[in-house]
Amino acid sequence: MDLIAIIGIVIGVLLWILVAVLAFVAAMRSKTLFREGAFEGGRDFIMLLPRVMIGVVGSGYIAAVMPQDLITTWIGPNSGVVGILIATIVGAATPGGAVVGFAIGAAALKGGAGAAQVIAYSTAWSLYTIQRLLNWEIHMMAPRFVWLRAAVSFPLPILAGLGALLIGRP
């Protein structure tokens, strides 16, 4: 078993321990609180599981359909800073939740994209997806705050990609 698999198992066990502790605390407070937590968590699990499965399977198909020569040319490991900038723009333009964003990132990696470029993509997608910024954030928070947050966050995906280039292949 390699180190990544061991780390994955350890993280999984730690998360289940955390869930057990939270369930115990809820049960100690009241049986109703415990039941509500179990119901809400179970419902979320049932709602999210098919989406995650579709995203994982879909990323395999996206990787198979994406033209490898196009990926390696524009965001491949040898595309350097230009590839990081392209990946940052594409990440900011990618709509949807984690199932979409991470599926595209995983598909790009499978299709020959560079690690630094995918790091820039996923960081841009996480920090300032334009669709989320316009449809949600501006309506829930003061526009001045949202634009300031976006402006301050703007260089971070580029810096993350450049840092990955400097550190080397993960």
Judge contact between 91 and 122, C-beta under 8 A.
yes
**Per-residue confidence of the chain (170 residues) as pLDDT tens digits?**
788 889 989 999 999 999 999 999 999 999 999 999 999 999 989 988 887 788 778 777 777 787 888 889 999 999 999 999 999 999 999 887 777 888 889 889 988 999 999 999 999 999 988 888 888 888 888 889 988 998 999 999 999 999 999 997 65
**Which one-letter amino acid corresponds to residue 45?**
F
What is the SS3 assignment for 4? helix
